[in-house]
A and B are shown apart, each in its own frame.
Chain A
Amino acid sequence: MADHVLQVQHLGKTFGKNVVLRDIDFTVDTGDVTCIIGASGSGKSTLLRCINLLETPTCGEILHHGVSITDGKFNPSKYRAKVGMVFQSFNLFNNMTVLENCMIGQTKVLGVKKEEARQTAMFYLEKVGMAPYINAKPRQISGGQKQRVAIARALAMQPEVLLFDEPTSALDPQMVGEVLEVMRNLAREGLTMLVVTHEMAFARDVSSHVVFMADGVICEEGAPRQIFENPVHERTRDFLERFRNN
């Protein structure tokens, strides 16, 4: 109980009459690399967006170190500073350079001094191989490079856990490679990660825990070896089968 970074309990989300998530239960511990897989429309991204409070859950609870973040009085800004997010569409700030993108959160949200923020930003930009591009604007770099900057921006906040919402889905195969390489290294260094992905090889090789979702519920979860080699549930088997055939 002591070291649960995030606990999701009986989480539900509806958009109007559409039930998107039903009774979701799972836990993220420090150092976990959890991959959420499943068909498009199964609610994976919505779940991630609920965890970062970009969507308000309809029912259920999310606990951050045992404290509920879903009750009304909670201040989402402080929480979000500790739980980073990397988006499918990068969402870099178009009016800032690569370096400024990685500094703004530190200086404005964490209150870090400029020089220190700059050093931290440079450290993480070097880690993702984007240090040479500090003066570029987002419109001047490629998709893969943007995503690496977005990862550096999230890391510069030194989050407890980093959420990835299909980080490679908008990229061509070459760029997918460079982004996955960065993520692989982060996992190796012990960063707590929660990754929604369609990259099955990444889920199989890198994650410590795999969650398979279908139709808004968690169908099956467990160690990657178990999910990929001995799936219990019919739907998991179907899904993985289809992926292998492609």
Chain B
Amino acid sequence: MSSTLPQTFGGKLIFILQNYGTTFLRGAGVTMAIAVVSTFIGCIIGFLVGIVQTIPTDRSKNPVKWVVLGVVRFILNVYVEVFRGTPMMVQAMFIYYGASMLFNINMSMWTAAFFIVSINTGAYMAETVRGGILSIDNGQTEGAKAIGMTHFQTMVHVVLPQALRNIMPQIGNNLIINIKDTCVLTVIGTVELFYASKSVAGAYYWYFESFTIAMGVYFILTFLCSRLLRLIESKMDGPESYDLATTDTLAHTSGMNRYPGDSDQDAHADKFTASGSM
């Protein structure tokens, strides 16, 4: 059998792709599933934490709310600091084995993978969302308050949609980081792209060839995702132009300026009110 094995670099690549192509594809699929789902769940966690961090509180007006929020915020801060401050690989070991040792829960590979990556992404996203909310001009909030919106309505309809648009690049960053970082889950036995590459490499001791393919696959995945996210961003911005029903009768853009106090002011004003009366 060994006499039929290819000897050149290119030949080995082709041989691996022909015989183990599906292994790589399956690994890439697992990687993408974990990265996409966990980024999504992480974003939701991040939004919830970020929103709680930006609820306005007035100690004198509502002391109970102030205390409760204070406690919740402290817990959330601990969560953010701990999960941002420790490596995901260590977290994976800690949670996976800790769950079975302490609580007798034997997580499946999928549950563990989704849980660890989501909660890690959530910790990063919490700060990103907080930043996104702070980046929205206070005038937007005041405008919403001035027409009688509550804090919750202001958030849902005005601030968060704009914050989401502003943090899209960072969400993209997180997705790409997650695609790459799922490889640390090999320590708990998740068969994703890195694990698959390693097993193929181990079968023939073709490490360089196998990981050349892994490099290519990882790059294709991240590149496609970053382009796709750009596309979504421009969709969110909406069209550059807009439909005009007719011409604007009041904008003096054609050189016919009229200042307050001009003699023909009233004639124009009457025409203007004729369009509808209160």
Contact = CB atoms under 8 A, between A and B. Distances in A.
A105 B147 contact: yes
B251 A91 contact: no
Contact of B242 (A72, A78, A137, A148): A137
B153 A93 contact: no
B272 interface: yes
B255 to A, nearest CB: 10
B146 A54 contact: yes
Interface in B234-260: 238, 241-253, 257-260
A224 interface: no
Contact of A91 (B140, B241, B250): B140
Contacts of A81: 147-148
Nearest to B249: A129
Interface in A179-237: 180-182, 184-185, 188-191, 199, 201-202, 205
Nearest to B62: A72
Given A93-B158, A132-B245, A52 B146 contact: yes
B148 A78 contact: yes
A80 interface: yes
Contacts of B145: 54, 76-77, 80
A244 B153 CA distance: 46
A50 interface: no
Nearest to A158: B278
A30 interface: no
B10 interface: no
Contacts of B144: 93
Contact of A80 (B147, B242, B245): B147
A140 B242 contact: yes
B257 A80 contact: no
Given A145-B251, A157-B147, A177 B257 contact: yes
B161 A133 contact: no
A182 B269 CA distance: 9
A145 B249 CA distance: 11
Interface residues of B, number: 46
Nearest to A52: B146
Given A108-B157, A109-B153, A177-B260, A91 B147 contact: no
B273 interface: yes
Nearest to A184: B269
Contacts of B29: none
A236 B1 CA distance: 105
Given A72-B61, A129-B248, A133-B248, A93 B140 contact: yes
Interface in B146-160: 146-150, 153, 157-158
Q: Number of contact residues on A: which range applies?
A: 35 or more
Contact of B245 (A108, A131, A191): A131
A163 B142 CA distance: 13
A70 to B, nearest CB: 12
B142 A91 contact: yes
Contacts of A87: 139, 142-143, 146
A13 interface: no
Contacts of A177: 252, 257-260
Given A54-B146, A181-B250, A181-B269, A136 B162 contact: no
Interface string A138-167: 001010110010100110010000000000
Contacts of B245: 131-134
B165 interface: yes
Contacts of B149: 77, 105, 108-109
A178 B276 contact: no
Nearest to A191: B278
A14 interface: no
A185 B272 contact: yes
A178 B252 contact: yes
Interface of A: 52, 54, 72, 76-82, 84-85, 87, 89-95, 97, 104-105, 108-110, 123, 126-137, 140, 142, 144-145, 148, 150, 153-154, 157, 173-174, 176-178, 180-182, 184-185, 188-191, 199, 201-202, 205
26 contacts: A54-B142, A79-B148, A80-B145, A85-B146, A91-B140, A91-B143, A95-B158, A105-B148, A108-B149, A129-B250, A132-B247, A133-B248, A135-B242, A137-B238, A174-B257, A177-B258, A178-B251, A181-B260, A181-B272, A182-B250, A184-B260, A185-B272, A188-B273, A189-B278, A191-B278, A205-B260
Given A123-B276, A205-B261, 18 more contacts: A54-B142, A54-B146, A79-B148, A80-B148, A91-B140, A91-B143, A93-B143, A109-B153, A126-B276, A131-B245, A136-B242, A140-B242, A177-B257, A178-B252, A181-B250, A181-B265, A190-B278, A191-B278
**Which 3 pairs across A and B sit closest by C-beta, in order of nearness?**
A81-B148, A91-B143, A129-B250
